[in-house]
Structure 1
Amino acid sequence: MKSFISVAVFALSSLALLSEAHISFRYPCPRRAPYSECPQPKDNEWNLVDYDVQSPLGTYNSISDPICKHSSSFAGIRPTFQAGQTVATKMDVDVNHRGGTCQWALSYDNGKTWVVIQDQFRDCLAQAPAGSTYTVNVKIPASAPSGAAILNWIWNNNEGNRELYSSCADVVIQGSNGGSLSGVAPVFANYGPGSPFIPEAAVSGGDWGKQYFDARQPITVTVPAQKIKRQTAPIY
């Protein structure tokens, strides 16, 4: 009975979340998300559920949360993506803020370093209806090495408070056994006083921060080769 009640509360809370927040991943699951299809907490972990998973991490003058919000997720199976695969990610959308600029990035060191793998400038999520689950295709680079990784969606909105959104999902990449991934480091704009400031596009003559994205720094991450192990159910 206890587990049934917990699951019911979990599902109802995830529905309530939609009416109070903005945007996050729904698939792959963001860390400690309250969605019923995501890894669920143990009986002693319910206080760790993030019912505010769709909210921004900060504004141009304040930081409320780290980039991934949480250092880990609940125990459960990670989704496995092949290098070169196009993943139909799902975004849970409350308010789209007339779109904005999205960056998708991978990290193999729990968020210490990131490599941008895909961009959509200016109009990202602009067509996503309010209160919807919206699909965005994201391609995993063919050169992505194998390993446990974080797929992160990073978004600066066009309209409203000058905010930064980020949604981290733990995944497994299957590619080459060892290797490197090159690209650019992401911009974390509107994220505290020391970050780049991107104004509202509608009141700034269309300024969406192009100069900051053009100036992103090249980065290469190297993932060592590992002994091959049979693993049928990767876990968080």
Structure 2
Amino acid sequence: MQMRFFLVSALAAGTATAHMNMKDPPPLAYKGNPNAKEPNIDYSITSPITEAQYPCKGYLNLLGTAEGASVATYAPGNQYTMSVEGGAAHNGGSCQLSLSYDKGTSFTVIKSFIGNCPTSSGGSYDFTIPSDAPEGDDVVFAWTWVNHTGNREYYMSCAVVTIKAGGAKREVPAVNSKRATAFDSRPKVFQANLGGEYCTKEGVDTVYPEPGPDVENTSTSPGPAIICATGADAPEGSTDSGSGSGSGSSAGAGAGSSSAAATSQAQATSAEAQTSTAQQSTTTAASQPSIPSNILTVIPIGELTSSSTGGVFLTVPASSGAAATPTTLSTAVVASSSSAGAGSSSATTTAAAASSSAATGTATTSAKTPTTTGGAAGTQVGACTDEGAWACASDGSSFQRCASGAWSAAIPMAAGTKCNPGISNTLSMRRRRDRVRRSGTGFPGF
């Protein structure tokens, strides 16, 4: 009987000291919390939680009561220390600190510790409340832990705190602090071994798929989380979190690199699509000389705004076999670069219709007198008969084209550039002593 009593006592003592829990700030239902009262004090608060106890081991029902009153006040941008205690550290592991402003519905990570969390004695851990963290009362401050060795478990202790500017500040050295990530873009807390998607491996310090921007990595044996159903490694950035989270660890850097790579790939794909569209919408003669970049700049029509000048339509000739439908030109020519060298002589290009069908059917008729004249500054108005003909205003300040049987609206020349007055198959332009000649076919946009 005496031996039996001894064994029961030993088991009870072992249960009371097993595992770990957050000590400061004092969590809900913890004997060290000044607001905790019987019968709600949890004397086995160090034990891991079950799926049914998530989050906070089920103690969020104390919010709004005297036992759920705030136990600490933190100020955004200030640094503090939290501590852990217990009797079975399971060789450490990885921990996260997070905040919930919606009574535990979601938790936003403010710092991740990879390796040596907790230590055999529990340990103290420095953290910073993000400078853009919202202020609030009854904010839930959570410590979560996935152990290095032992059964695959998940631990969580939660305290009620106040986030308010000017809160008490405890000076501690900053560790791997980065503030570039907005609070609402930080990742959500990592959950594992609770019957959900993620599990953890034994014998490694779990590297969180999304650790957030503030990470302290002291691990000598890091390893990824795994997908419970398949045992495959969980990819970085796979948890429900904000985008672009960087970190002070290799894991966080990897997640940031993945995000940057995805962005770069998307930009490249977009650029390729634009290039492909431009190539499909224009046809250039094989003998066309290249245009130096310091003379003309071609801008895709997609980049023009409603205030942009322009608007020339071409009709596909019936001889091409295509329907005679007005087609908007796909490019616009703008001012030559101010960096054009004084020694530049001339460049001759051919203007193309909006599609290859239009280009192949472009007529090569000579210029004739317009049907109607008399616009401002010698511009053309009304109908015309020479499809594709160019018209330069008498003062050289604007140009038009005969398209769809009518003269287009006058398009102003770029600053410092004039065209040679008159009507012709080609439109000649000049800038200072330079001269650019554009023929009736081949040049993108006309």
TM over 0.5, yes or no? Answer: yes
CA contact (8 A) 2:94 2:112 kept: yes
Q: 2:159 aligns with which of 162, 169, 172?
A: 169
Q: 1:32 aligns with which of 29, 34, 39?
A: 29
Q: 2:55 aligns with which of 56, 67, 80?
A: 67
Secondary structure of residue in 2 paired with 1:181: helix
Distance 1:38 1:98, change over 3 A: same
Higher helix share: 2
Range with bigger deviation, 166-175 or 66-75: 66-75
Distance 1:51 1:120, change over 3 A: same
Higher RCO, 1 vs 2 (CA within 8 Å, ≥6 residues apart): 1
CA contact (8 A) 1:110 1:150 kept: yes
CA contact (8 A) 1:23 1:92 kept: yes
Q: What's 1:4 paired with? A: none
Range with bigger deviation, 166-175 or 211-220: 211-220
Instruction: State the one-letter code of the partner of 1:135.
Output: S
Q: Give, in angstroms, the shift of residue 155 of structure 1.
A: 0.8
1:1-236 correspondence to structure 2 within 5 Å: 19-35=16-32, 38-41=34-37, 46-58=38-50, 63=51, 65-69=53-57, 70-71=59-60, 72=62, 74=67, 76-125=69-118, 128-129=119-120, 132=121, 134-148=123-137, 149-175=139-165, 181-192=184-195, 194-201=196-203, 207-209=223-225, 211=234, 214-219=237-242
Distance 1:158 1:33, change over 3 A: same
- Count of aligned pairs between the two proteins: 188
Secondary structure of residue in 2 paired with 1:218: coil
Where structure 1 has 5 or more consecutive residues not aligned to the other structure, the ranges are: 1-15, 221-236
Distance 2:184 2:18 in 1: 34
Distance 2:117 2:87 in 1: 15
Distance 1:136 1:34 in 2: 21
Distance 1:110 1:75, change over 3 A: closer
Range with bigger deviation, 205-214 or 46-55: 205-214
Distance 2:132 2:49 in 1: 30
CA contact (8 A) 2:30 2:45 kept: yes
Distance 1:175 1:110 in 2: 21
Q: Give, in angstroms, the shift of residue 19 of structure 1.
A: 4.3
CA contact (8 A) 2:154 2:192 kept: yes
Secondary structure of residue in 1 paired with 2:71: coil
Secondary structure of residue in 2 paired with 1:214: coil
CA contact (8 A) 1:122 1:208 kept: no
Q: Give, in angstroms, the shift of residue 114 of structure 1.
A: 1.2
Distance 1:19 1:32, change over 3 A: closer
Q: Give, in angstroms, the shift of residue 175 of structure 1.
A: 3.9
Higher strand share: 1
Q: Give, in angstroms, the shift of residue 55 of structure 1.
A: 0.8
Secondary structure of residue in 1 paired with 2:39: helix
State the structure with more CA Rg: 2
Distance 2:236 2:98 in 1: 14
Instruction: State the one-letter code of the partner of 1:40.
Output: A
Distance 1:212 1:152, change over 3 A: farther
Secondary structure of residue in 1 paired with 2:186: strand
After the TM superposition, which parts of structure 1 deviate over 6 Å for at least 4 consecutive aligned residues? none
Secondary structure of residue in 2 paired with 1:87: strand
Q: What's 2:169 paired with? A: none
CA contact (8 A) 1:201 1:208 kept: no
Deviations 1:172-196 (A, max 9, x none): 00149xx96330112101112x231
Where structure 2 has 5 or more consecutive residues not aligned to the other structure, the ranges are: 1-12, 167-181, 205-220, 226-232, 244-446
Q: Give, in angstroms, the shift of residue 90 of structure 1.
A: 1.4
Distance 1:160 1:197 in 2: 13
TM-score (norm 1): 0.70
Percent identity over the alignment? 27
Distance 1:170 1:77 in 2: 5
TM-score (norm 2): 0.39
Q: Give, in angstroms, the shift of residue 211 of structure 1.
A: 3.0
